[in-house]
């Protein structure tokens, strides 16, 4: 006589699936962007660039920015970006910077000697820091 044992199915096995991607990951995957491309986009968004003109002005006028100055400049750009500005005048200490907010690029830099009697055009915001 043959005895059969039947194991009751009290604890069914459920396959484990991968977690759903975050919205940013889904967007990157849908666009076919590599990790490096996504990382570079994030870095480009958070860091500031200096145009060739701004770099020349800074070198010619002896403008040097400390890490603290760069942090203040970046913070100011973040603030005006949140308000929807496109071009902004940012005053830090005795320096002035005109920044393209959309591109996160410093367009020009002006030291205290050239700041007097200067007219700033094509800006839609100003930050005094």
pLDDT at 9 over 90: no
Domain count, the chain: 1
- Mean predicted lDDT score pLDDT of the chain: 81
Q: Is residue 110 part of a domain?
A: yes
Q: Is residue 34 part of a domain?
A: no
Structural domain containing residue 67: 48-128
Q: Is residue 21 part of a domain?
A: no
| Residue from 29, 110, 127 nearest 73 by CA | 127
Query: Strands, E, within 77-119: which ranges?
Result: 87-92, 95-100, 105-110
Average pLDDT over residues 11-21: 57
Q: What pLDDT is attached to residue 39?
A: 65
Q: Is residue 28 part of a domain?
A: no
Structure confidence at residue 8 as a pLDDT band (50, 70, 90) = low
Tokens coding 107: 């367009």
Helix (H, G, I), strand (E, B) or coil at 125: strand
8-state DSSP, 19: P
């Amino acid at each position: 006589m043959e005895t059969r044992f039947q194991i009751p199915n009290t604890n069914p096995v459920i396959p484990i699936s991968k977690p759903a991607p975050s919205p940013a990951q889904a967007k990157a995957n849908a666009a076919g962007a590599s990790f490096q491309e996504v990382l570079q986009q994030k870095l480009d968004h958070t860091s500031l660039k200096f145009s060739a003109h701004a770099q020349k002005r800074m070198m010619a006028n002896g403008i040097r920015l400390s890490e603290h100055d760069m942090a203040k400049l970046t913070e100011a750009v973040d603030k005006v970006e949140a308000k929807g500005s496109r071009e902004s005048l940012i005053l830090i200490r005795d320096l002035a910077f005109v920044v393209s907010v959309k591109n996160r690029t410093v367009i020009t830099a002006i030291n205290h000697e050239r700041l007097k009697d200067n007219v700033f055009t094509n800006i839609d915001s100003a930050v005094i820091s």
